[in-house]
């Protein structure tokens, strides 16, 4: 058995990691991550680790998806075969080179060609054990019967070394040695030659670590100076065994989109139009309402809209106007704010943005207690074991529900002001629409439990509420104490959480 976790990396920079799933060869992570990518990258990678308390965590395998291939897998649930991890495959960064072929006349009048390679700099080399590396480069001209190699100086503690070193190589023999024309280059020689740049980390007392390589055929060069940035590539190992070891598989559901963003000045008119939406009558004719309704993916439209209105302090007015329109069309008090409407979607995003700290302060202590000192509370007849005390389980369940509920009810003083303003406005509108409804308060409060607090169970790991991922049995107990107040989140939202699922042999 293994204690496994998964990390998500952009190139070799870790951006997220799952919680540890203990004692399993087929761990189910079931975690969802949403993030924007603020920089250029080559690979989106996933690493599976075996947690080791006393030593460094062991990397079991990885998946590396090229940026260009992400669109192929976007929106699909796919099983990926885990690949082995070694130093030769862990490559990132780029090299700035300048190359030129010079034609020289020797002292005896013969003609030869000289290759000039200027290694200017590198950018984005990986960290070694969390620290900048000590890189150097070898510059080689390689052919069937030659391997001329030269070496740069070592640059200390940097991932962006400036080399600015120039190397000279003779790429053809003097034509005086052949019967060919004194002024003709031996094309067959150039056809077989290539320039190879290898980057290494100077290991001092240990073996030097390979950082990547590039290969450029000499035949592609001309007499003009050619300079460019080249992405470092993994080493091409030709001695791999035909039978590869089975490292397992990882199941992913990836949604990837690229947006082309213009300078902010281009969006001034649209921003002003959206901010005036709460003043438009009817609200359904406003720019913000129309934008939210026409987006194919409702989440893509709502999240930036809520952020914009929050930033300019216009969210309360907009939600109030939209909720008023929704309530006019609502005939049953028990269904207010239950659907996946524009009002509830805006409130959902607002709660997630401004209420994270409130949730953590309010519920983390009780959730930690449930996970660290779990009490049996199974009451499903189909899941009860022989000898289980059902009455004791009911008491334990009642204890959990009462404690969670009382904690929430007593936390009003900690609730963010913006949330109080939005919820107060919704309560006022609901009372005006159903002035005689006895169950109004009950129906109204469901927006807090159904649409926000109960989703904590799905996002508790992502929001760092729990110290570790509970064992499956404990998860069942956690599910039960939420059941009395929880609805089907997936049916309400229409969005299925991304699942990471791995089988490790």
Report the chain's mean pLDDT, rounded to a whole number: 79
DSSP state of 131: B
Distance (Å, whole) CA 28 – CA 78? 15
> For the chain, what is the radius of gyration of the CA atoms?
31
pLDDT at 452: 62
Spatial CB neighbours of 414, under 8 Å, sequence gap ≥ 6: 358, 361, 362
pTM of the model: 0.58
- Structural contact between residues 183 and 126, judged by C-beta atoms closer than 8 angstroms: no
Q: Are 136 and 155 in contact (CB under 8 A)?
A: yes
**46-55 b/e with 16+ CB inside 10 Å = b?**
bbbbeeeeee
Is the alpha carbon torsion for 24, 25, 26, 32 positive or negative?
positive
Q: How many CA atoms lie within 13 A of 331 on its CB side?
A: 0
Regarding beta strands 111-123 and 501-503, do their DSSP bridges make them parallel or antiparallel, or are they unpaired?
Answer: unpaired
Spatial distance between the Cα atoms of 117 and 97, rounded to a whole number of angstroms: 7
Average pLDDT of the segment spanning 69-91: 85
What is the share, in percent, of the chain residues with pLDDT greater than 90? 27
Three-state DSSP at 215 gives: strand
pLDDT over 90 (residue 414)? no
Model confidence at 450, in pLDDT bands (50, 70, 90)? Answer: low
Check if the beta carbon of residue 119 is closer than 8 Å to that of residue 167. Answer: yes
Q: Mean of the pLDDT values across residues 396-405?
A: 85
Which tens digits make up the pLDDT trace of 218-277? 888 877 888 999 989 887 654 444 456 778 899 999 988 887 888 889 999 999 999 999
d(CA 58, CA 85): 10
Cα separation, 426 vs 362, in Å, equals 23
């Amino acid at each position: 058995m293994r204690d496994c976790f998964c990390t998500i990396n952009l190139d070799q920079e870790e951006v997220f990691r799952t919680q540890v799933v203990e004692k399993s060869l087929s761990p189910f992570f079931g975690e969802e991550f949403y993030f924007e990518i603020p920089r250029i990258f080559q690979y989106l990678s996933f690493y599976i680790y075996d947690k080791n308390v006393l030593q460094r965590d062991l990397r079991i395998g990885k998946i590396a998806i090229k940026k260009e291939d992400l669109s192929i897998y976007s929106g699909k649930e796919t099983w990926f075969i885990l690949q082995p991890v070694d130093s030769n495959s862990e490559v990132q960064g780029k090299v700035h080179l300048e190359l030129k072929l010079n034609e020289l006349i020797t002292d005896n009048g013969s003609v030869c060609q000289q290759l000039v390679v200027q290694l200017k700099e590198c950018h984005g080399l990986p960290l070694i054990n969390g620290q900048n590396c000590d890189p150097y480069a070898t510059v080689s001209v390689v052919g069937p019967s030659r391997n001329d190699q030269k070496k740069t100086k070592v640059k200390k503690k940097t991932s962006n070394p400036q080399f600015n070193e120039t190397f000279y190589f003779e790429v053809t023999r003097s034509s005086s040695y052949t019967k060919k024309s004194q002024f003709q280059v031996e094309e067959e020689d150039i056809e077989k030659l290539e320039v190879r740049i290898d980057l290494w980390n100077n290991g001092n007392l240990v073996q030097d670590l390979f950082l990547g390589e590039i290969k450029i055929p000499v035949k592609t060069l001309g007499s003009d100076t050619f300079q460019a940035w080249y992405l470092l590539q993994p080493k091409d190992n030709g001695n791999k065994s035909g039978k590869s070891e089975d490292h397992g598989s990882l199941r992913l559901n990836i949604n990837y989109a690229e947006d082309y963003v213009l300078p902010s000045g281009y969006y001034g008119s649209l921003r002003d139009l959206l901010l005036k939406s709460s003043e438009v009558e009817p609200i359904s004719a406003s720019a913000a309402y129309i934008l939210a309704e026409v987006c194919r993916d409702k989440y893509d439209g709502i999240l930036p809209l809520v952020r914009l209105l929050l930033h300019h302090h216009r969210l309360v007015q907009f939600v109030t106007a939209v909720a008023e329109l929704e309530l006019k069309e609502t005939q049953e008090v028990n269904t207010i704010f239950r659907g996946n409407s524009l009002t509830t979607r805006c409130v959902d995003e607002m709660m997630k943005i401004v209420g994270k700290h409130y949730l953590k302060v309010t519920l983390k202590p009780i959730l930690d207690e449930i996970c660290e000192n779990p009490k049996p509370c199974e009451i499903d007849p189909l899941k009860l074991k022989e000898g289980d005390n059902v009455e004791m389980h009911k008491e334990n369940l009642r204890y959990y529900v009462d404690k969670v509920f009382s904690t929430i009810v007593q936390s009003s003083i900690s609730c963010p002001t913006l949330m109080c303003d939005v919820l107060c406005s919704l309560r006022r509108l609901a009372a005006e629409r159903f002035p005689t409804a006895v169950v109004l308060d009950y129906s109204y409060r469901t927006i807090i439990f159904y649409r926000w607090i109960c989703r904590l169970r799905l996002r508790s790991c992502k929001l760092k509420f729990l110290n570790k991922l509970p064992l499956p049995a404990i998860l069942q107990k956690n599910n039960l104490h939420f059941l009395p107040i929880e609805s089907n989140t997936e049916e309400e939202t229409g969005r299925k959480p991304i699942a990471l699922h791995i089988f490790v042999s």
